[in-house]
Amino acid sequence: MTRRESPSHWLPLMAMVAAILVAGCGGNSFPTGSSPASGEPTAVASGPAASGPAASEPAVPESPPPGSQATMTPDVTCGPGEAWVGSFGSGAACIDEEGWKVFDETNTPLTNGQLADIAVCADGITWLADSSGLVSTDGQTWVNHSTLTENKGFEAVACDPKKGVWLAGYQGVYYFDGESMTTHPASEFGTGKYVDQVKDVAVAADGRVWAVTANSVALWDGTAWRFWEKGKGFKKEYFFEQVAVDLKDRAWVTTGGNELLLYDGKKWSILSKEFLSQSKAVAVDPKNRVWVGTYSEGVSSFDGKKWTTYNRGNSDLPSDHVRAIAADAKGRIWLGTEWGLAVLEGKKWTLYHMSDSEIRDNEVYSIGVAARGPTLPELVEKDPGTLSGRVVESGDPKAGLKVEACVEFVGMMFSGDTPCADQAFHKLTTTNDDGVFAFTKLPVGRYAITVRGADGKWLRLTDQFRIGDKEVLVQPGETTDLGDLDIATVE
């Protein structure tokens, strides 16, 4: 089971465009001169493609069951044997034997489409945790449970053998049986400063529950919680990320460092590898291999004796930033990366992007797969689009400046000749005498934009908070015009 990597990603992104120096630690910014095109900014470890249908009008809510806000039955259905792919802010796409299906606020009770985690349970119910609460579906009818679960800031959701679900959220772990909610406060998981930041939850086959906070690991035996932290089971302080339980009921816990922790029922073992640096996602496949996704080192699997690492350099993995992992009963590994969905079957890779599928965003935040999963749909190439704009300084056009578009996070520092040079896909162009730039035949997707000023310093378009990149959406066969980007306002 996997989910996004930090609570800060759940801050809603606004439409305002700004720019920040990316060379060094610059924090200066400038607004653009015109309204930009809007840009929209993790799974069970457990034939011909159909193009995604247009979003249908919301169905009339039915009488809600206990503990629910409303039910909805959209025209679009999904399953059985489906796979779900979640995004930040754009809802989810589902793959079943008919192909791709699209679900968001227009045809489901999802309130914002910011999906932290997805779990497909053995009873056929899929649970989607978003930043506002919890929604479930049997593939046809959708139920909003937010009257009981709202404002919990859920990070993860896990299936329970009793057909309920466990949720990890701010200040606790929550058990939802479909009608009522039981709260397990974070104070039972440790004593550390960041114990309120409950980051993940996993359920063993025997019903025991594992929870990880930012600096502790806790185990529920059905009666009480037991926890480990610095000075109580661990010699040093760790910053934990996720937990998965393998087929032997052993717990595997990832950290923000380069360690992977294993609890075998009696003691903890620590596996330290450089390629595990900043581990994010963890899952177990049917062969009991442990898969670990990282922030910048790709994904690695461990069979108990040998490690195997996949990255952009030695495989078709589209991005070395792996956010989400799921394994289906066929042994296929589903990977959510910063640039698309990758499915590994044996040695064969199948990649999906916004340009050739109905995936909602190239940044995949969560994945859930039912049992053996669906037949993989064929790729369907969409018409490319155009992205344009004009670079000015106090209203005067700036000619001869480099402008770059890329598909992954840029940030305030970079390596390489340009901010996007080390990314899997990027385009570089130059402003003309009128300061105008244009990227033509650009694949459908969302792009970060950087501009090299006359002083040689690079600037980037950012979100309102001037931390994350402002992602610009390019749609099939359309031109997205950013208007004027005024570099004169950099302080």
Tell which wins on pLDDT, 464 or 59.
Answer: 464
pTM of the model: 0.86
Three-state SS string over 213-231 comes to ECCCEEEECCCCEEEEEEC
Can you give the C-alpha Rg of the chain in angstroms? 23
Extract the tokens encoding 240: 């934990």
187 close to 218: Cβ distance less than 8 angstroms: no
Q: pLDDT higher for 425 or 14?
A: 425
Q: What is the predicted pLDDT for the residue at 131?
A: 77
Distance separating alpha carbons of residues 419 and 409, to the nearest angstrom = 10
Q: What is the 3-state secondary structure (H, E, C) of 418-443?
A: CCCCCCCCEEEEECCCCCEEEEEEEC
Q: Are 474 and 387 in contact (CB under 8 A)?
A: yes
CA pair distance 340, 155, nearest whole angstrom: 21
- Rounded Cα gap, residues 105 and 122, in angstroms: 26
Q: What is the side-by-side strand order in the sheet with 198-203?
A: 198-203, 209-213, 217-220, 225-230, 233-234
Residue 65: exposure state from Cβ atoms within 10 A (0-12, 13-18, ≥19): exposed
Q: What is the pLDDT of residues 30-85, one digit of tens each?
A: 333 333 333 332 222 323 223 333 333 333 334 344 445 678 888 899 988 999 99
Give the distance, in angstroms, between the CA of residue 232 and the centroid of all CA atoms in the same chain. 32
pLDDT (0 to 100) of residue 71? 82
The span from the CA of 186 to the CA of 171, in Å, is 5
Average pLDDT over residues 348-372: 97
Q: How confident is the model at residue 490 (pLDDT cuts 50, 70, 90)?
A: low
- Tell me the C-alpha distance between 312 and 211, whole Å: 32
Instruction: Give residue-wise pLDDT tens across range 382-394.
Output: 999 999 999 999 9
Say how far apart CA 221 and CA 273 lie, in whole Å: 31
The average pLDDT across 407-427 equals: 88
Residue 125, pLDDT above cutoff 70: yes
* pLDDT of 446 over the 60 cut: yes
Interatomic CA distance for residues 77 and 58, integer angstroms: 13
Reply yes or no on whether the pLDDT at 188 is more than 90. Answer: yes
Residue 2 in this model has a pLDDT that exceeds 80: no
Count of helix runs (H) and strand runs (E) in the chain = 1, 40
What's the CA gap between 344 and 299, in Å, rounded?
11
Tokens at 230, concatenated: 């610095």
Checking if the pLDDT of 413 tops 60, the result is yes
What's the confidence (pLDDT) of residue 465?
Answer: 47
* CA geometry: angle 152, 158, 162, nearest 5 deg: 110
User: Among candidates 412, 418, 340, which has minimal Cα distance to 379?
Assistant: 340
- What pLDDT score was predicted for residue 49? 29
CA 100 – CA 301 distance, rounded (Å): 29
Helix, strand and coil in the chain, % to nearest 5? 5, 40, 55
Say how far apart CA 166 and CA 245 lie, in whole Å.
14
In tens, the pLDDT along 95-116 reads 999 999 999 989 998 888 889 9
Give 11's pLDDT tier (boundaries 50, 70, 90): very low
**CA-to-CA distance for 140 and 138, rounded, in angstroms?**
5
Of all residues in the chain, the percent with pLDDT exceeding 70 is 83
Residue written as tokens 């720019």? Answer: 19
pLDDT tens sequence across 205-251:
989 999 999 999 999 999 999 999 999 999 999 999 999 999 999 99
Model pLDDT for residues 128-182, shown as the tens digit of each residue: 998 778 999 999 999 988 777 666 789 999 999 888 999 999 899 999 988 889 9
Asked whether the predicted pLDDT for residue 398 surpasses 70, the reply is yes
Where does the pLDDT of residue 464 fall: very low under 50, low under 70, confident under 90, or very high at 90 and above? Answer: low
- Tens of pLDDT, residues 259-285: 999 999 999 999 999 999 999 899 999
Query: Which whole-number Å values give the CA distances from 15 to 11, 21, 212, 474, in the listed order?
Result: 13, 19, 34, 15
Q: How high is the pLDDT of residue 410?
A: 87
pLDDT at 151: 63
Query: 14-28, 40-54, 228-242, 405-419: lowest mean pLDDT where?
Result: 40-54
Least confident span in 3-7, 69-73, 328-332: 3-7
First-to-last CA distance in the chain? Answer: 44
Torsion sign, CA atoms 70, 107, 164, 219? negative
C-alpha dist (Å) from residue 444 to 74, 386, 387, 402, 420: 27, 9, 10, 22, 18
Task: Give me the pLDDT at residue 148, please.
Answer: 73
List, in order of start, the domains of the chain with CATH numbers.
7-39+383-489 (2.60.40.10), 70-369 (2.130.10.10)
Q: Mean pLDDT for the chain? A: 84
Mean pLDDT, residues 307-330 taken together:
97
> Residue 353 and residue 444: Cα distance in Å, rounded?
8
pLDDT of 304: 94
Residue 328 has pLDDT above 90, yes or no: yes
